Amino acid sequence: MRLLPFDYATRNLGRSPGRLVLAVLGSALVVLLVIASAAFVRGMGSSLSLPEENSNVIFLGAGSEESVERSEVSTRAAEVVATLPSVRTRLGERYVSPEVHIALAIRTEESQVEGRLTPVRGVRPTAYLVHSQVHIVGGRTPTPGADELMVGGLVGGQLGVDASRLALGKTLLIDGRPWSIVGHFRAPHTVMDAEIWMALTDLQVVGQRDDLSCVVVTLDPALGDFTDAEVLAAQRLDLELTAMREVDYYGALARFYAPIRAMVLVTASLIALGGILGGLNTMVAAFAARVREVGTLQVLGYPRRAIILSFVQESVIVAATGALIAGVVGKLLLDGIAVRFSMGAFGLVVDAPVLAIGIAAGIILGIVGALPPTLRCMKLPVGQALRG
């Protein structure tokens, strides 16, 4: 088959610079929306999923398997759980983390009438052993009894303030009292990244509770498995415990939020479809003006398939250029942006798979947007096409 040269398609793009810019921008907007949706779904999904090799077990109050914030566990439970032979030990320290989880209204300014509900976790130092994803990136851990706290990387987005407002030494208002920020931590792609951490006893005082929300332990696979934890929970009916793998706990939460993710994808698909239909409209008008050109090319001996291919090339170049622009904008502006949800917040994730989805959407947009109007042009007999 005799093909039209590739630069025929590229040179054609420059015939109407205004239309070219609009087409590229239109494509970029549609692809940016696809990227934002994919980043949302991926960000939410990754914040609620843990690697399979995670060997943490959460001991919750029986009947509170669906929410650690509603769970109540006796403080004695931590001592009992620590006797589990399969708990990991390092330099004599057991990987047992008794924790309190409460969503507190946090104010950043005195003048603020209502604070923003933010997940706060009360911990002991062993929490840093059990939650290995947490890395302190600035400052230090809070001292018990000193009204100190440490903030995660997404807390700024959660509270709606700049990072500078959460600098070391600044204060946040909890329960009407100023609490000093003494540390910054990151726990990327986990719900912990949107949390505030403070000493366990401090949060118990603030929350007016003398029990725990849960006890998290890390098991040593060489010493035992999850069944040991289940047996302990079954034996200690007095503590009213239930044992769950941390992976399963967050897996259940992810399933709970699956309809929201599906809704986001459907919305994005519908808007992308709207973009394609809008693009089709433009392309029909653009190609209709090129009917005579199509006829001339046919007279010159180019087969219809070659002409269709050339037109699709043009369209794909435009759409792919828009997709590339959207990818750069998405990576620079969207990646890591905090999105609030009931579990706190998660960061949008614009990574390689998300960018690949965006580029693929752009290419599909280019092909699907060009084919119908091109085929419509081709239907005309050559003579009629030459008359325009």
Partner 1 sequence: MRGLIMFSVLMATFAFAGCTTKDSAPKPGGAAGGVSSGLPDGIMLSSAPADAKPLGEVKKSAKKGDKVTFVARVGGTKHPFVDGRATMIVIDSSLAACDALEDDDCATPWDYCCEPRESKTANSATVQIVGDDGKPLALSLKGQGGIEELVTITVVGVVTEKNDEGLMVVNASGVHVKKG
The smaller minimum CB distance to partner 1, of residues 64 and 133, is found at 64
Q: What is the dihedral of CA 336, 338, 339, 342, to 10 degrees?
A: 120
The smaller minimum CB distance to partner 1, of residues 198 and 244, is found at 244
The answer to whether 248 contacts partner 1 (rule: CB under 8 A) is: no
The smaller minimum CB distance to partner 1, of residues 162 and 225, is found at 225
Which range binds partner 1 by CB under 8 A, 31-39, 166-174, 234-242, 344-352? 234-242
State the first-to-last Cα distance of the chain, in angstroms, to the nearest integer: 26
* Partners of 180 in beta bridges: 148, 171
Check if the beta carbon of residue 73 is closer than 8 Å to that of residue 213: yes
Beta-strand relationship, 177-186 and 89-90: unpaired
38 burial (CB, 10 Å; 0-12 / 13-18 / 19+) is buried
Positive or negative, the CA dihedral 152, 155, 161, 165 is: negative
The smaller minimum CB distance to partner 1, of residues 239 and 276, is found at 239
CB of 130 to partner 1, least distance (A): 23
CB of 231 to partner 1, least distance (A): 5
Binding mask 98-127 for partner 1 (x = CB under 8 A): ------------------------------
The answer to whether 236 contacts partner 1 (rule: CB under 8 A) is: yes
CB of 83 to partner 1, least distance (A): 12
The smaller minimum CB distance to partner 1, of residues 1 and 237, is found at 237
43 burial (CB, 10 Å; 0-12 / 13-18 / 19+) is buried
**Residues 53-92 within binding reach of partner 1 (CB under 8 A):** 62-63, 65
The answer to whether 223 contacts partner 1 (rule: CB under 8 A) is: no
CB of 78 to partner 1, least distance (A): 16
CB of 59 to partner 1, least distance (A): 14
The smaller minimum CB distance to partner 1, of residues 143 and 235, is found at 235
The answer to whether 252 contacts partner 1 (rule: CB under 8 A) is: no
Among 105, 231, 266, 285, binds partner 1 (CB under 8 A): 231
Q: What are phi and psi of 11, to 5 degrees?
A: -70, -35
The answer to whether 372 contacts partner 1 (rule: CB under 8 A) is: no
The smaller minimum CB distance to partner 1, of residues 24 and 232, is found at 232
The answer to whether 240 contacts partner 1 (rule: CB under 8 A) is: yes
Positive or negative, the CA dihedral 266, 269, 275, 277 is: negative
Check if the beta carbon of residue 216 is closer than 8 Å to that of residue 54: no
CB of 227 to partner 1, least distance (A): 5
The answer to whether 227 contacts partner 1 (rule: CB under 8 A) is: yes
CA–CA–CA angle 334, 22, 264 (5° rounding): 35
The smaller minimum CB distance to partner 1, of residues 19 and 236, is found at 236
Among 91, 237, 300, 352, binds partner 1 (CB under 8 A): 237
What separation in angstroms does the CA of 302 have from each of 15, 329, 377?
Answer: 21, 39, 15
The smaller minimum CB distance to partner 1, of residues 85 and 178, is found at 85
Check if the beta carbon of residue 73 is closer than 8 Å to that of residue 61: yes
Q: Retrieve residue 110's tokens.
A: 């005195």
Closest CA to 218 of 131, 95, 45: 95
Q: Rule CB under 8 A: which residues touch partner 1?
A: 62-63, 65, 227, 230-231, 234-240, 242
